Structure 1
Amino acid sequence: MKNIVKLFCILCLVSCKKDHEKDYIILSGEIANKIQDYIVVSINNTEIKDTIQLSSTGHFIDTLKVDNGAHLISHGKVYLRPYFEKGYNVTLKFDANDFNNTLTYAGKGAEANNYILAKRQKELKLIKNRKHFYSLSEKDYKETVAKIKDTSISLLAKNLKISNDFRKKELRNIRYEYINNLLSYEEFHNYFTKDNTFKVSEQFLPDLKDFDFNNGDDYLFSSAYKRILNINLKKTAKTLIEENKMPRDIANLKEIAAIQNDTIRNSLLYSESVYGITYTSSLDEFYKIFMEGSTNSDHKATISDNYKKLKKVEKGQVSPQFVDYKNYSGGTKSLSDFKGKYVYIDVWATWCAPCKKEIPSLKEIEKTYHNKNIEFISISIDKTSDYEKWKRMVSKENLGGVQLFADNAWESQFIQEYLIKGIPRFILLDPQGHILTANAPRPSEPELIGLFNELSI
């Protein structure tokens, strides 16, 4: 607490500086029933600005260098998207056990953020729930999204203390939200009504012929703008995929690299690459497109480091080793114990829904290739505290193959050397311990049997 008081005093001294001269904000707050001892402030899901520690009572205060725009604050499974402008001195409070009903803002910058909260509440009243909203007829849906737009414009007009910069951007954002709702309707209507034959009428969709896809300010400000941009990128990438038989990830990256605006191009290239490079089957081409397209030195350093690590686990390389992982059947096992056989490794966790979805298919594959020259190994990266939970699940699901427990969850050396950032992940090794593929097909994918057949397993 003394440190927080001391920091507060320092911040008070520097706050004499005129707001328009500041290149930072002061962010403070209080979280009741805190989930963990910190909050994470990001530009988006991949670009972290700062990690702020909480006191024992859930209080915090810090300065942040930010660009004007929307940000992401995460605290455990609680997420909020405040808007920041340089010079803000904003305080937020919420109860982690009742976030939706307790979040409030105060101080300089509160007006814009409380407007965002009020706007969202009015929108939810009109939507009711997602299933109801997206199941509406085309006519009723369009009328509802028009009403949402008009309600938001009216609410913005009543908030006279909001800055002119925010007001101008928000007016454009309201238009983007309207457009995005129209673009999203067909996909979500199909999902919620289970009618995959439904297509919107031609006059329903907005005309994007003159849409500005290179507005960096709106990209930073508006989530709806980002979604419209991504929808358009997928559409243009689809042409490359179909006409040039290009892999989807390469086509997507090429389209992003062609964006003129530096802010948008750098951000999207990084968010697409920081995880995408660990999955691509065209590593050198993927890396080349990123490096030629990005002008952000920090991003390039991160992706270059990832590229160097991934070159070490390319096809033909000797696989990284795991040593003395706990075996469900007793004792321990190391990767070297399985030399002489093909090895199909499943990296998973008990909390991972997509991992559990693969279990029935994995059981079938194991049954089909029983007594063949292949070993099926499942490595759990559950936390040490969930060791008993893992054992119960292996028993309950009657999981086959060799069931192992990694020594340090995500931080296990084997996981780190393969640069695994998402699960499930499947790896196939040859009998000499060389990598055949660090991104093997999933058990549910027909390509896996085709690969086994090619190898005459």
Structure 2
Amino acid sequence: MKKNILLALLLISIIACNKKEASFVTFAGEIKNTNNADTLLTIANREFTKSMLIKNGVFKDTLTINKPGYYNIFIAGKNFGYTFLRNGFDLELTADKNAFFETVQYSGNGAQTANYLLAQAKVGNQFGNPTNVFALDKDAFIKKIETFKFKFDSIKKVYKELDTMMLRTNNAQNEQFFSAINQAYERQHAALKAKENLAAGKVSPTFSNYTNYKGGKTSLADFKGKFVYIDIWATWCKPCLAQIPALQDLEKKYHQKNIAFVSISVDNDKTSGSWDNAKKSWKKMVSEKNLTGVQLFAGEDIEFLKNYQVSSIPRFILIDPKGNIINSNAPRPTDVALEDLFKSSGI
């Protein structure tokens, strides 16, 4: 009886040893359209690189990788995608180099994991440009996200023998992706809508009662019937100041034309210490540099800047006589394209 037990234990030990994970990956395959020339196939990530020869379209080698994970596949130096590897995998790849992503397939030990990642990548490619996704209304956006979550989950039902480490990492990555895109929706959607409202031909956002250097208050509506070229600037902004000579030249050249040159200072309490100092700095510079055109001070009213999504200065805007936008980010005075824009707009 004891001998039988010992024999059974010995057999179990032998079987366990035979099932021990190999200390390397066997990677082989056939890739069509490699021009029958010797070509290098490289498997690499940040910690590992190994190249093997594709000879007449066929390759085979072993890889002793440091740890399981994602590895990029390069053919003749060009990235053709990625796969998941761990020592013990015995993979065979078939593909057409001219349509690698569409034709690649894996067989052998570890193939379920590799083919799962391929299937997920193909579904992911159907997601489209994120900008177009963010442009959807809320209901359509939610429906699209839920559809892709369902598609990703459905792939797992097809490929059931998946590497547990890969699946854990992959699930976390997918969750992170969907969480990030959901969190970004409101902000990105609003920004896209605002940008849409600034397209050529749209009614321009307006400003009202800005302080005029020559006295009184001035609004955009005061220029109805004229083209308006707006310069948004500040006294501390060196790139803004660099545009002044060219802007003054334009003002002289188009003096008899139906166009108003309006400069709006956005000096504020943060850059000047107080709103009073900001206004003083603006007035001082207008006087010292003998600035021409219509010189306005926006003060605390930043709605016009927000509506035009002004995030940096100088910023130039061209509006037509009806108050519609010609170009919400017009060329600078130093740019020769500006006069072409004037001409094409009928100025």
TM-score computed with the length of structure 1 as normaliser: 0.36
Larger-gyration structure (1/2): 2
- Richer in helix (by share): 1
- Richer in strand (by share): 2
TM-score computed with the length of structure 2 as normaliser: 0.47
